[in-house]
Structure 1
Amino acid sequence: MPHPGDPRPAAMPYLPQLDGVRALAILIVFAAHCGYSHVVPGGFGVTIFFFLSGYLITTLLRIERARTGAVSLPAFYLRRSLRILPPMYLTLLASGALYAAGLLDWMPVAPAAVLGQVIFLTNYPGLFGTEAVLPVPLWSLAIEEHFYLVFPLAFVLWLGRLAPRRATLACLGLCAVVLAIRCSNVWRLPDYSLNYSWTHTRIDAILFGCCLGLWNNPVISADRAWRPALWQVAASLAVILGTLAVRDPAFRESLRYTLQSAALFVPFAYLLHGEGPLVRLLASRPMRRLGLWSYSFYLAHMTVVALVLHLRPGLHGFGLMLVAFPVTLLWCWGMYALVERPCARLRRRLLADRPPEPSLAEDGRRAGVTPA
């Protein structure tokens, strides 16, 4: 049964500014992979995606439990599978075909590493003895998949039975455990760089998003949720910039992720209230459209960059971005029209009895993409 303090919203509303956040995150990652990683923090773009995933999944689970009295795990896993797997496997197939044809400027690829990508274990390269993967960045998606497998079950059996404040404290406790593991690795491992990609050393970024989903969530209780002031948003962004300025490897692979993820609580809480010039900028039509395609963009952009570099080896930096960006968008448009939107319709048909989540078709209308 729902916790007595939980409200009963009908469904997860569509929040256009969150599509803008996705767009901002993918632009950060894209710029880093086009040669600007020394000035553009691509890893922070991934941290934004992690935080957003934790927030959205927790909010959806709370709404479903409040509305129906229970969470359907089969429905959750079916929804996630239809959302994630078709675009991912098709992108892997396309990348593999281009590599086999000799059209990618990329390292030699090992079949064992590709198997790790297929089964969501590429972020643990030690299991396969190689990191020679196809240019599809699935280490971060592997972390999210591991979260999707475990967190809904934990919510049903444990977290969802607690008061929101106590559930938040439980998530914060898990974040502290993850930080302790990272610090231990820095102290005892000669090479602790894989703190960056292991699930058990990066999942706290998702859990901090869960905290916002559980406590002071403007979607769940807008009248009672904390509304940050602009100076508080500025202070949190200053903390994030400070973490990016520190170049010490031990700090970067330990405390940095905690500080960044905790600081993201403030700007996300501000944006979710849906007011202010930053919200309007992120909810603008170009940002919404790119955010709508951000998943396919993330999957495909490194393969496109490798293809462009094979065809035009002299390109780098801004010139590389100018060529690779529209090509990646073309892939996203085809993936959205031929795969993502049909899968969204299938999800709605199969899960008609469950509380709806914002659909791709609804998002498309609001982003100016006319659905079929």
Structure 2
Amino acid sequence: MRPPRLDSLTGLRWWAAFAVFAHHMTNIAPLPGSYALSFGSYGVTFFFVLSGFVLTWSARPGTAVSTFYWRRFARIYPSHFIALLLAIPVFYSFSPAAEDWWVKPVNVGILALSFVLLQGWSRDPVILFSGNPAAWTLTCEAFFYALHPVINRIFGKLRVRGSLLLVGAVIAAAFLYRFGVVLFPGSWLADAPLPVVRLSEFVIGIGIAQAMLSGWKVRIAPVWCYLGAGALIAWLVISLRWSGTPIVDFFRLTANEWIIVACAITIAAVAWSDLTGKRSIMRWRPFVLLGEWSYAFYLVHATVIYALLAVVGVQPKGWSNLLWYVGLLIVTVAAAAALHYLVERPCERFLRSWWDRRLERRTQLAASVSDVTTPGDGRADRDS
């Protein structure tokens, strides 16, 4: 039986995308205390954990690996391709001396990496943020998708305790990696490719989904997760004034890993709340709708922000800049809705339908060949 939809997670996905948007808005319209908005970049962490959870939750036994890969391509690539074409005029110039710091000279070789989602394997910012700067995360996602059938098969052999123990081991490995980067800043650990470094987030999502599919009951109300995540971010902001204290520095240096844990617990709690039919503000239809647009929103938000930045420049810091946030949010949501309805949904529907028809034709051909080559049937009737 197919697991039920978890609409609250779709609503949460919108807030993760909005957090990334707010983080990047500080480049054009800084607010007093904008440092707090820098933690919006961890919306990407939420996406990675959620991706592992959702793919595992929605996986159907018997689906061929090739079908899984095609469906993921159909889901992410068409919108990425169009968003990349829209981003190039904003972030690239044929002039060798571009006036704006975010504009790069056209390099066909580097741009080609963006079209095939390989840019995220480099730590060089010129390559990592090439094409559409937000799309480096798609390199990670493509890597995760490639490994999902294998990793999911491993977790599929485990029950609740085994899945949670393996999740705990992955979290411990993430902390150990962070310690290694801090202790050996010049080592290969600090330059490891991001798809490999961020894989732990995706695997944790797979693990908690498998634990829930195996019967794990999450006894935490989502509201406590929201408050806990808010308190964690507040602490990381406030604790800056106590830098140099060992315990404070420990938590600040491992902030990424604590946020991974917070994301994982929140996703599990919200999913369980939906499963048990409890009320959830995240299932409010506008939030769910925005969540459905969130992938397109993520792809276009940087292009919209920097296109305007080229025209108006950086605004003086002040609360009046909230008007820019509102205005650009409206424009970006409108652009995301257009990308979703004109490209994302119809292309995914067409590509999946084409693949399904192809598989059906192959199945019918195989069946007809089997009927022709099966010995005995026609001859037995004639001999009798």
CA distance in 2, matches of 1:20, 1:196: 33
CA distance in 1, matches of 2:185, 2:257: 20
| Structure 1 residues 113 and 253, CA gap change in structure 2 (3 angstroms) | farther
Aligned length: 334
Partner of 1:57: 55
Partner of 1:4: none
CA distance in 1, matches of 2:84, 2:250: 34
Partner of 2:22: 31
Q: Is the 8 A contact 1:104 1:306 kept in 2?
A: no
Partner of 1:7: none
CA distance in 1, matches of 2:145, 2:356: 18
Q: Secondary structure at the match of 1:138?
A: helix
Gaps of 5+ in 1: 1-9, 355-372
Give how far 1:254 is off: 5.1
Could you say which structure has the higher helix fraction? Answer: 2
Deviations 1:200-232 (A, max 9, x none): 2222222222221011x2xx367x522214685
| Structure 1 residues 276 and 164, CA gap change in structure 2 (3 angstroms) | closer
Matching residue's letter, 1:32: H
Q: 1:74-223, aligned counterparts within 5 Å?
A: 74-99=66-91, 106-109=102-105, 111=107, 112-126=109-123, 130-131=127-128, 133-156=130-153, 158-190=154-186, 198-215=194-211, 217=212, 220=213
CA distance in 1, matches of 2:335, 2:207: 35
Q: Is the 8 A contact 2:92 2:106 kept in 1?
A: no
Q: Is the 8 A contact 1:113 1:131 kept in 2?
A: no
Partner of 2:303: 303
Partner of 2:261: 262
| Structure 1 residues 15 and 193, CA gap change in structure 2 (3 angstroms) | same
Partner of 1:21: 12
| Structure 1 residues 344 and 132, CA gap change in structure 2 (3 angstroms) | closer
Gaps of 5+ in 2: 360-384
Question: What's the TM-score, normalizing by structure 2?
Answer: 0.74
Deviations 1:232-254 (A, max 9, x none): 53446534543455446975785
Matching residue's letter, 2:11: G
Give how far 1:177 is off: 2.7
Partner of 1:287: 287
Give how far 1:137 is off: 0.8
Q: Secondary structure at the match of 2:280?
A: helix
Give how far 1:148 is off: 1.0
Deviations 1:322-357 (A, max 9, x none): 332222222222212221221342355344899xxx
Deviations 1:260-311 (A, max 9, x none): 1122333323222228999532122221221111001101100110111122
CA distance in 1, matches of 2:223, 2:329: 35
CA distance in 1, matches of 2:48, 2:231: 20
Give how far 1:23 is off: 1.0
Residue 333 (structure 2) pairs with residue 334 (structure 1): no
Q: Is the 8 A contact 2:119 2:127 kept in 1?
A: no
Matching residue's letter, 1:213: A
CA distance in 2, matches of 1:113, 1:55: 32
Deviations 1:69-118 (A, max 9, x none): x3421111011000001100111111113445799953324524433433
Q: Is the 8 A contact 1:227 1:269 kept in 2?
A: no
| Structure 1 residues 343 and 245, CA gap change in structure 2 (3 angstroms) | farther
CA distance in 2, matches of 1:329, 1:264: 24
| Structure 1 residues 230 and 32, CA gap change in structure 2 (3 angstroms) | closer
Partner of 1:48: 46
Matching residue's letter, 1:166: G
Matching residue's letter, 1:269: A
Residue 227 (structure 2) pairs with residue 228 (structure 1): no
CA distance in 2, matches of 1:236, 1:95: 33
Q: Is the 8 A contact 2:90 2:103 kept in 1?
A: no
Q: Is the 8 A contact 1:91 1:300 kept in 2?
A: yes
Matching residue's letter, 2:294: S
Question: What's the TM-score, normalizing by structure 1?
Answer: 0.76
Matching residue's letter, 1:256: A
Deviations 1:16-37 (A, max 9, x none): 2112101111111111100055
Deviations 1:42-77 (A, max 9, x none): 22211111121111112123xx12xxxx34211110
Q: Is the 8 A contact 2:177 2:189 kept in 1?
A: no
Q: Is the 8 A contact 2:10 2:291 kept in 1?
A: yes
**Aligned Cα root-mean-square deviation (Å):** 3.6
CA distance in 1, matches of 2:348, 2:117: 22
Q: Is the 8 A contact 1:88 1:299 kept in 2?
A: yes
Work out which of the residue numbers 345, 350, 354 in structure 2 matches 1:346. Answer: 350
Partner of 2:379: none
